[in-house]
A and B are shown apart, each in its own frame.
Chain A
Amino acid sequence: MLSITQFDLSYPGYPPLARVTWHLKPGEQVALLGRSGTGKSTLLKAILHAANHPHIEIETDRIAYLAQQPVLLPWLTVAENVSLGNRLRGESVTPADAEQIEQRLTDVGLAGFGPRTIDTLSGGQRARVALARVLFEKADCVLLDEPFSGLDRSTRIDMASLCRELLLEQTVVLVTHDPLDARNWLSHAMVLTETSLTGPFELTQFENDRVLLDALGVGL
């Protein structure tokens, strides 16, 4: 599904970061952990813009991206935001699409929310609308950049279990700095440091995994 070979992470004008080689099979779901400044988000965006990078190959063009803040246009309704892709590609929203939208909203626990405006939603509900859009777009690969970081602890746990339940076949890369957040949803993680990408690590017992903790720079 995804194959990154000898890709140099770097910011223009700064010393280069890790050289990354990483292969993901279709349907593999992995967290990408690392301290801030190691280039996790940069790597995620490079995957999203794979077409510009000769060292990155991805076997689908149905990639969904979930940003830190849900990207919802306040002048559109919830339903219109779910089908935002159609609007932005210049495609019409068919009656079948409308049915799909309602279905996906029901999936994320927002049945009947279609006609509401965005400013009437809580932070958790906004995150759910963004997730409904990912489902509506039928993405094969879902890239998430600390998508629940703005939410409180219990809402983050809710979102994680919702993702585990709804994103079954998709290939998933979840960028986060918090192994607890990652474990709420996923079983494996890669760790990015300034010098390399290592892993996969099991998340079930990460508190006892010296190598993982060292890589994260956490002294327990």
Chain B
Amino acid sequence: MARILPLGGALAAWWLVVWAFELPHFILPGPDRVLITLIERHAQLLFHGSVTAAEILAGLGLGGALGFLTACALATSEPLKRATLPFLVMSQALPVFALAPLLMLWFGYGFASKLAMTTLIVYFPVTAATLSGFRAMPDGWHDTFISLHAKQWSLFWRVRLPLALPHAFSGLRIAASVAPIGAVVGEWVGSSSGLGYLMLHANGRGQTDLMFAALVVLCIEAVVIWTVVSRLTRRLDQRLNVSSLP
């Protein structure tokens, strides 16, 4: 109920504005008209929606994996970290949008350039969050492990990595919420399918209701992906139980 109420209120307000100002549907279609478009053009929306979903998921997987591995590599080598980190931070000053035309040039107008965009936008939050997880161990841990004659590799694998995982997960949750941006921007710059393409296409023909319908589908995708990632990682967090440490 607590979730339905604001949503219902927003829909009612939207409908009220359209009705009160007698807005033509090519400026702002009412929720009823968007719903009808969703039903009538469901096949088209499903097709383009699945393309975008695939781009988001693949980018999340690839960017997440690359970010995680980068953080692991930087954590195991202090000189490497010192040499690389400034460039990583600097690269963040560059908006991904500015790179989009270049990525089109290099990877073409198909799936690969959208994957590259999404991967780029996912990569940094995961890298940064995971790296912050490889912090100093709690007091007394290092000396205890020395006394147990721990091997460096085991120490990394069995202690530092599990300690860093909850941070990697929170990075992945942030990444899951920004990944759709990468996919849609990629589609805007140049594509022949996907929700971003569909929106540009509809915009050019004054089909504002179709634009809204595409937005609704994108919203649902984003929420579902974020929720799944969030639930999965929180469950793993519980298994690791790192938050119970003093």
Q: Are A61 and B244 in contact (CB under 8 A)?
A: no
Q: Are B242 and A48 in contact (CB under 8 A)?
A: no
Q: Chain B's nearest CB lies how many Å from the CB of A172?
A: 14
Q: Name the CB-closest residue of A to B240.
A: A75
CA of A75 to CA of B166, assembled, Å: 12
8 Å CB interface, A65-123 against B? 65-69, 71, 73-75, 84-85, 87-90, 117-119
Query: Is B246 engaged at the interface, CB distance under 8 Å to the other chain?
Result: yes
Which of B140, B153, B159, B246 counts the most A-chain CB atoms under 10 A from its CB?
B140
**A48, A61, A73, A84: which contacts B143 (Cβ < 8 A)?**
A48
Q: Are B158 and A88 in contact (CB under 8 A)?
A: yes
8 Å CB interface, A23-55 against B? 45, 48-49
Of the stretches B116-124, B144-152, B206-214, B220-228, the one at the interface is: B144-152
Residues of B within 8 Å of A117, CB to CB, are: 241
Q: Chain A's nearest CB lies how many Å from the CB of B110?
A: 42
Query: Is A64 engaged at the interface, CB distance under 8 Å to the other chain?
Result: yes
Q: Are A49 and B146 in contact (CB under 8 A)?
A: yes
Known: A65-B146, A68-B139, A85-B149. A118 touches B241 (CB 8 A): yes
Total interface residues in chain A, CB < 8 Å: 28
Which of A71, A117, A145 counts the most B-chain CB atoms under 10 A from its CB?
A71
The 8 A CB mask of B139-173 against A (1 = contact, 0 = none) is 11101111111110111001100100000000000
Which of B143, B241, B242, B245 counts the most A-chain CB atoms under 10 A from its CB?
B143
CA of A139 to CA of B148, assembled, Å: 10
Q: Are B141 and A67 in contact (CB under 8 A)?
A: yes
Query: Is B6 engaged at the interface, CB distance under 8 Å to the other chain?
Result: no
Q: Are B140 and A88 in contact (CB under 8 A)?
A: no
CA of A63 to CA of B144, assembled, Å: 10
Query: Is B235 engaged at the interface, CB distance under 8 Å to the other chain?
Result: no
CA of A143 to CA of B147, assembled, Å: 10
Query: Is A137 engaged at the interface, CB distance under 8 Å to the other chain?
Result: yes
Residues of B within 8 Å of A119, CB to CB, are: 241, 244
Q: Chain A's nearest CB lies how many Å from the CB of B94?
A: 38
Residues of B within 8 Å of A139, CB to CB, are: 147
Interface SS of chain B: helix, strand, loop or mixed?
A: helix
Q: Are A75 and B162 in contact (CB under 8 A)?
A: yes
Q: Chain B's nearest CB lies how many Å from the CB of A91?
A: 10
Residues of A within 8 Å of B246, CB to CB, are: 69
Q: Are A74 and B241 in contact (CB under 8 A)?
A: yes
Residues of A within 8 Å of B146, CB to CB, are: 48-49, 65
Residues of B within 8 Å of A85, CB to CB, are: 148-150
Q: Name the CB-closest residue of A to B242.
A: A74
Q: Name the CB-closest residue of A to B151.
A: A90
Q: Chain B's nearest CB lies how many Å from the CB of A128?
A: 16
Q: Name the CB-closest residue of A to B239.
A: A75
CA of A139 to CA of B147, assembled, Å: 10
Q: Are B244 and A74 in contact (CB under 8 A)?
A: yes
**B143, B155, B242, B245: which contacts A67 (Cβ < 8 A)?**
B143
Q: Are B242 and A65 in contact (CB under 8 A)?
A: no
Given known contacts A65-B144, A85-B149, A89-B151, what 18 new A-B pairs fall within 8 Å (CB)?
Answer: A48-B147, A65-B140, A69-B140, A69-B246, A71-B145, A75-B162, A85-B148, A88-B150, A88-B155, A89-B148, A90-B151, A90-B153, A118-B241, A118-B244, A119-B244, A139-B147, A143-B147, A145-B140
Give the top 8 A-B pairs by smallest Cβ distance, nearest first: A67-B140, A88-B150, A65-B147, A85-B148, A74-B241, A119-B244, A71-B144, A75-B240
Residues in B lying within 8 Å of A, measured CB to CB: 138-141, 143-151, 153-155, 158-159, 162, 239-242, 244-246
Residues in A lying within 8 Å of B, measured CB to CB: 45, 48-49, 61, 63-69, 71, 73-75, 84-85, 87-90, 117-119, 137, 139, 143, 145
Query: Can you report 18 A-B residue pairs in the complex whose CB atoms are below 8 A from each other?
Result: A49-B146, A67-B139, A68-B139, A69-B246, A71-B140, A71-B144, A73-B159, A74-B241, A74-B244, A75-B162, A75-B239, A85-B148, A88-B155, A89-B154, A118-B241, A119-B241, A139-B147, A143-B147
